[in-house]
Amino acid sequence: MTASLKSVANQILSETTERAGGAPGVVAMATDRNHNIYEGAAGFRELGKDDPMSLDSVMAIFSTTKAVTGVAIMQLVEEGKISLADAARKYVPEIAEIGVLDGFDADDQPRTRAPKRDITIADLMLHTAGFCYEFFSHDDLKYRTAKNIPTVVSSTFDSIRTVLLHDPGERWTYGVNIDWLGRIVEQQRSKRLGEVFSERIFGPLGMTDIGFNMSESMKSRRVTLHDRAQDGKLTPLPDLVLPQPPEMDMGGHGLYATVGEYMKFIRMFLNDGAGPHGRVLQAQTVESMSQNGLPNGMTSGGWTTSIPSLSNAGEFDPGVKKTWAWTFQRNEEPTSSGRPAGSLMWAGLGNLYYWIDRKNGVGGFWGSQILPFQDVASYPGFVAFESAVYRHH
């Protein structure tokens, strides 16, 4: 760790957590191909309590779970068990029951029709199947309400058996696709997704403080989620925890972890699939996962909100062309923070953000626990942190 990076990054974490209306607590880390080059924590695990945020604090990492499921799918592809071109119904027949939303009748009851073609595994990997989330789509929320479908944070299979907002392959729409991929992994491995992760990904990478079901030690270090009201006021939500144990291991958002454990996963991508205790993916698989997979000049962009308490409307790096790699957003042009074109990033609902720059062999993760998404204090802190890593590492 350079002295200048340590000094500047520490200052960013302090400012993010200490200024009025700032984030309650943050953990941030950056890595090169070999080891972490910065580790920092600031603030508290819960507002109004004395537990300081620490490097071993455990967070709900939400959609940063997705890339782990993507790796489990690509392991199956490498073994020849599945193909990305396969129809998903071959492995999860229930997906064939899901129709395309064709509007609502006078009584607000949804009308649906059959999709023009089957959803493929590639559609699910690329978020082109037509699925969305209830908090990013008024129509998805209205459909779920009409059909009494539970929220995705219920960690149930029923929560992802919703509706398609358009035909498969028509456009990029971010949603519950990766939870379906988790079911495919379970179908192929005849095991819970968490077991597959432990054996085939966490083991080779030496990741222990991570799982769908928290150990007692993890529970004792869990960071409380906070709600930011429209007026900026933060309220701790100590009881807001994903079901323990979950009915279904949610491949799209269900993991709890420390930031340090996720850094090991990021390093695997910087090292072409190799981990300290074995290879997770072949080098050519990592390379292909890092490329744009969207067809026909399609791009990935921002999002709207239908539940403002869960997410603000927004976009990462507006004005920068973005596509979708195999479970990551890919920037096709350099970002203002210094990330070069062709890098990968994604995020988690509780204001967690990471990036993977395979060109320069650097990556980082910014973890906080605040709703709604793209928080006014935490997200700018992440951008400042990433910028500092590029200027000072």
Q: Where are the alpha helices (DSSP H) in 275-377?
A: 283-289
Crossing angle, helix 3-18 and helix 378-392, to 10 degrees?
170
Give pLDDT, residue 246. 97
Catalytic residues: 63, 66, 174
Give pLDDT, residue 176. 97
Phi, psi of 147 (to 5 degrees): -100, 0
Reported as a pLDDT band with limits 50, 70 and 90, residue 280 is: very high
**What does DSSP say about strands 370-371 and 110-113: parallel, antiparallel, or unpaired?**
unpaired
Task: Collect all residues with Cβ–Cβ distance below 8 Å to 330 and sequence separation of at least 6.
Answer: 290, 291, 292, 322, 323, 324, 342, 343, 344
Q: Where are the alpha helices (DSSP H) in 167-252?
A: 177-189, 193-197, 203-205, 216-220
Helix (H) or strand (E) holding 385: helix 378-392
DSSP output for 177-194:
HHHHHHHHHHHHHTS-HH
Handedness of CA 202, 207, 209, 215 (dihedral sign): positive
Residues of the chain with CATH 3.40.710.10: 3-58+192-392
Helix (H) or strand (E) holding 125: helix 121-126
Give pLDDT, residue 20. 86
Closest CA to 228 of 352, 347, 373: 373
Reported as a pLDDT band with limits 50, 70 and 90, residue 237 is: very high
Euclidean distance between CA atoms 348 and 2, whole angstroms = 28
Query: pLDDT (tens digit, 9 = 90+) per residue, 284-307?
Result: 999 999 999 999 899 998 899 988
Phi, psi of 357 (to 5 degrees): -110, 90
Euclidean distance between CA atoms 169 and 387, whole angstroms = 35
As given in the structure block, the two tokens for residue 329 are 């957003």
Q: What is the average per-residue pLDDT within 148-159?
A: 96
145 φ/ψ sector (left φ>0, alpha ψ -120 to 50, else beta): alpha
**Percentage of the residues of the chain whose pLDDT score is greater than 70:** 100
Instruction: Please say whether the beta carbons of 267 and 36 come within 8 A.
Output: no
* Residue 80 CB neighbour total at 10 angstroms: 7
Query: pLDDT (tens digit, 9 = 90+) per residue, 87-136?
Result: 999 999 999 999 999 999 999 999 999 999 999 999 999 999 999 999 99
Phi, psi of 128 (to 5 degrees): -115, 10
Examine the pLDDT at 79 and tell me if it is beyond 90. yes
Euclidean distance between CA atoms 23 and 16, whole angstroms = 6
Reported as a pLDDT band with limits 50, 70 and 90, residue 309 is: confident
Give pLDDT, residue 1. 61
Task: Collect all residues with Cβ–Cβ distance below 8 Å to 355 and sequence separation of at least 6.
Answer: 339, 343, 344, 345, 363, 364, 386
- Say which residue, 21 or 382, is predicted with more confidence: 382
The class level of CATH for 3-58+192-392 reads alpha beta
Query: pLDDT (tens digit, 9 = 90+) per residue, 188-233?
Result: 999 999 999 999 999 999 999 999 999 999 999 999 999 999 999 9
Give pLDDT, residue 339. 97
Number of residues assigned to the chain? 393
**How high is the mean pLDDT of the chain?**
96
pTM here? 0.97
Instruction: Please say whether the beta carbons of 95 and 130 come within 8 A.
Output: no
